[in-house]
Amino acid sequence: MTALSPIVVVDGVSKRFGALTALDDVSLSVLPGAVQCIVGPPGSGKSTLLRCIGQCETIDAGSITVAGEPIGHLRLDIASQHLMTGMVFPHPDLSDQMTVLQTLIERPLTLLKRPRREIVAEAMALLDRVGLAEKRDSYPSELSGGQQQRVAIVRALAMRPQVMLFDEPTSALDPEHAGEVLAAMRDLAATGMTMIVATRERDFVRKVASNVAVMDRARIVEQGPPQRVSERAFVRSLGGER
Ligand code: ADP
Ligand code: MG
């Protein structure tokens, strides 16, 4: 029996913005199909870590691989970026000019060499999965924040990425709409998608995470299965205590 090898390997990564160190010797391995949660107080480096894995930032030291591919430096090839990692930000960032279906098919149509018919069918199947099939012709302004965020999730999925990255995807939503998005993420986890999720949603972490990394001041200070992560780490990640 061979041991499963990690699909994401972050090894000794440091990232500076001028004099500020945003990541200080951070190491993290994520197995295929795992839900890796990242918690920690505001400013601890969660977004920077996700942005480095998602190739939105270059790193100053260490290495990152996704599915065996080294990521450390910005790639110009946008297609391979979206094929490797799909990213969901705190705000859905949808174009006002495009309907839900147009939003989903735009990147696959321009970046993938696949027939339009197939891309549309897959987009519809994704919309159906998050309960938004009937919104295919709606514009973002006609959707709730939770619906918009679900569209942002399936927009990323439409590129069939190896790994999904979520940066506090419910932090801008009220609890009811946050619940819809968290349910969609839980369903996605159940399909075996590898996910790295920065979040303050303690319930989600407790119930869905395979592993939790606790960040503080640019470092990972605690790591383990959710039941082993201290309550204090969650309290601090809400920003109440420093
Ligand atoms: P978190 O997501 O945990 O709140 P961030 O990764 O956003 O933390 O930020 C970590 C640190 O890096 C903070 O001090 C933040 O101000 C700084 N930082 C993040 N992005 C930039 C940037 N583009 N330029 C300068 N400083 C940044
Ligand atoms: Mg952040």
pLDDT for 146-166, tens place per residue?
A: 999 999 999 999 999 999 999
| Dihedral sign (CA 199, 201, 202, 206) | negative
pLDDT at 228: 85
pLDDT at 239: 61
DSSP state of 92: -
User: Are the CB atoms for 185 and 173 separated by under 8 Å?
Assistant: no
Measured from the Cβ of residue 176, the count of other Cβ atoms closer than 10 Å reads 9
Ligand whose nearest atom lies closest to the CA of 215: 1
Query: What is the value of ipTM here, to two decimals?
Result: 0.99
Which atom of ligand 1 lies nearest, measured to the CA of 215?
A: 3
Residues having CB within 6 Å of any atom of ligand 1: 17, 20, 22, 40, 42-48
Which atom of ligand 1 lies nearest, measured to the CA of 198?
A: 2
User: Are the CB atoms for 92 and 148 separated by under 8 Å?
Assistant: yes
Q: How far away, in angstroms, is 167 Cα from ligand 2 center?
A: 6
Cα gap 145→173, rounded to integer Å = 6
Confidence label for 75 from pLDDT (cuts 50, 70 and 90): low
Confidence label for 78 from pLDDT (cuts 50, 70 and 90): confident
Contacts for 160 with CB less than 8 Å, ≥ 6 apart? 83
Cα gap 29→225, rounded to integer Å = 13
Q: Is the pLDDT of residue 185 over 70?
A: yes
- Give the model confidence (pLDDT) of 190-238 as tens digits: 999 999 999 999 999 999 999 999 999 999 999 999 988 877 777 777 6
Cα gap 163→127, rounded to integer Å = 19
Kindly report the pTM of this predicted structure: 0.95
pLDDT at 242: 43
Ligand whose nearest atom lies closest to the CA of 167: 2
- Give the model confidence (pLDDT) of 10-44 as tens digits: 999 999 999 999 999 999 999 999 999 999 999 99
Strands across the sheet containing 8-17: 20-30, 8-17, 61-66, 69-70
Mutate which of 17, 56, 168 for ligand 1? The one with the most ligand atoms within 8 Å of its CB, which is 17
Q: At what angle do helices 145-157 and 175-190 cross, to 10 degrees?
A: 20
Q: Is the pLDDT of residue 135 over 50?
A: yes
Share of the chain above pLDDT 70, in %: 95
Which atom of ligand 1 lies nearest, measured to the CA of 50?
A: 6
Domains and CATH numbers, the chain: 8-238 (3.40.50.300)
- Where helices occur in the chain by DSSP H, the ranges are 46-53, 78-84, 100-111, 116-129, 145-157, 175-190, 202-208, 231-237
Q: Is the pLDDT of residue 186 over 80?
A: yes
